[in-house]
Structure 1
Amino acid sequence: MKLRPAFLLELAVNLLLPWLAYRLALPHWGETGGLIASAVPPVVWSLVELARFRRVDALSLIVLIGIVLSIGAMALGGSPRMLLLRESLVSGAIGVAFLLSLPMRRPLIFYLARATVAREVAGGAERIDALWNERPAFATSMRLMTAVWGVGLTSETALRSWMAWSWPVERFLVVSPFIGYGIYGALLVWTLWYRKTLRNGPRDDAQTDGMPG
């Protein structure tokens, strides 16, 4: 895969600029001010992306929730360590929601897949419903994916929480994004691999060709 300029720009905005903003603001406004400054580049980036696509997708929604949590932490006198956890708290909450949905009639991954296919294919929602009702292996795969993403997101939150409370702030700002991107990337690679395994397995392809990805 080639590194596209847009991808490199996204990495710079989300990895380099937050650290640079923190370093520039730290001597003038202290740790809390530096952390607030470090949030400005990704916030502006997410708002620009939101304005370009004219819709709130899952990623934009997570970023916006993170902003709200940051503002709430500041209003309640949140410590700099607490502000470090603003994005991880969102992903952790989503991970817990995934895990809590496992005993339910249909897990959360099912509804995400259903919404994605409905946007891309005419009659996609009905197709996913039919797969769920007629193919037990499809239902099993949805529950497994929900479990893996739930465990992955909650583990990411636990790891970054430990880092936030144990490491110096500057080290956390440098290393933490790589941890987050690494875990999200691993989850995505596993999802693509698992979907490919299902499609290439001995079962009927019709049971998985409605899955997004």
Structure 2
Amino acid sequence: MNLKAKKKVIQTIVLSLVINGAIPVVVYNFLVDHYSSFVSLLIATLIPLGDNLFHVVKYRKADAFGLFMLTGFVLSLLAFVLGGNERLILLRESMVTGLLGLIFIASLFFAKPLIYHFAIRFSSNDETEKKGQFEKNWEVPYFRFVLRIMTAIWGIALLGEAIVKVILIYELSISVFLAVSQLIFYGVIGAAILFTIVYRKYAKTRLDLINNQ
């Protein structure tokens, strides 16, 4: 990754933290003096939803994160209909994250784990060529082991993030939780991405040695 690409990634992360973290906190603290805590929180959570829907419309496709936020919004509405309080609304993100983590872990028991399909989708513009290479590598036991390790790490990371946030929801005030929740989310995701990059580089070197034997 060159300097320009790294700069763009950093800018994207910072902007996302501001939109999904800082702005909702400011909006919540402003509205809570005029409306109930429940209504204020519900309005504040519409901001990250709107941001992700904008990207879905702009790029004319639904990505995983957009669907993640949309599912969270639906759970928020269900919480409202069922008479949930503001902490139940906050729980909906952890519920979705935890569910995604469980899906990653459950995919380990299928023929090919989720990371296999994600890698084909996002690693190359030429999906047909990449799929052919992945199918060839899938015959190598070490390659299958690597993808299952990556899938397990992502599943554990997402499930662990959800558990930590569920605990903090009831330990922190709503304002403080809104401020730190996105830092926790991006911290966990960042760590998982870093692991994936480093482990992928190591695994590729070893896989090349195996294929060349």
| Counterpart for residue 93 of structure 2 | 87
CA distance in 2: counterparts of 1:193 and 1:118, whole angstroms:
18
Deviations 1:66-92 (A, max 9, x none): 111111111111121111122221111
| Counterpart for residue 77 of structure 1 | 83
CA distance in 1: counterparts of 2:197 and 2:210, whole angstroms:
17
The 3 A distance-change label for structure 1 pair 206 and 12 is farther
Residue 62 (structure 1) shift:
0.9
- Structure 1 range deviating more: 178-187 or 104-113: 104-113
Count of aligned positions: 205
| Counterpart for residue 161 of structure 2 | 156
The 3 A distance-change label for structure 1 pair 117 and 190 is closer
CA distance in 2: counterparts of 1:114 and 1:7, whole angstroms:
24
| Counterpart for residue 149 of structure 2 | 144
Residue 130 (structure 1) shift:
2.2
CA distance in 1: counterparts of 2:71 and 2:136, whole angstroms:
33
Residue 6 (structure 1) shift:
4.9
TM-score by length of 2: 0.88
Higher relative contact order (CA 8 A, sep 6+): 2
Residue 143 (structure 1) shift:
0.6
Deviations 1:47-104 (A, max 9, x none): 1111110001111111111111111111111121111122221111010111122122
Structure 2, unpaired ranges of 5+: 1-5
- The residue type equivalent to 1:188 in the other structure is I
| Counterpart for residue 198 of structure 1 | 203
Q: Decide whether the 8 Å contact of 2:71 with 2:96 is kept in 1.
A: yes
| Counterpart for residue 173 of structure 2 | 168
- The residue type equivalent to 1:28 in the other structure is H
CA distance in 2: counterparts of 1:5 and 1:99, whole angstroms:
31
| Counterpart for residue 188 of structure 1 | 193
TM-score by length of 1: 0.88
Residue 109 (structure 1) shift:
1.6
Percentage of pairs with the same residue: 32
CA distance in 1: counterparts of 2:44 and 2:15, whole angstroms:
16
| Counterpart for residue 179 of structure 1 | 184
Structure 1, unpaired ranges of 5+: 208-213
Aligned to 1:85, the other structure's residue is in SS state helix
The 3 A distance-change label for structure 1 pair 120 and 39 is farther
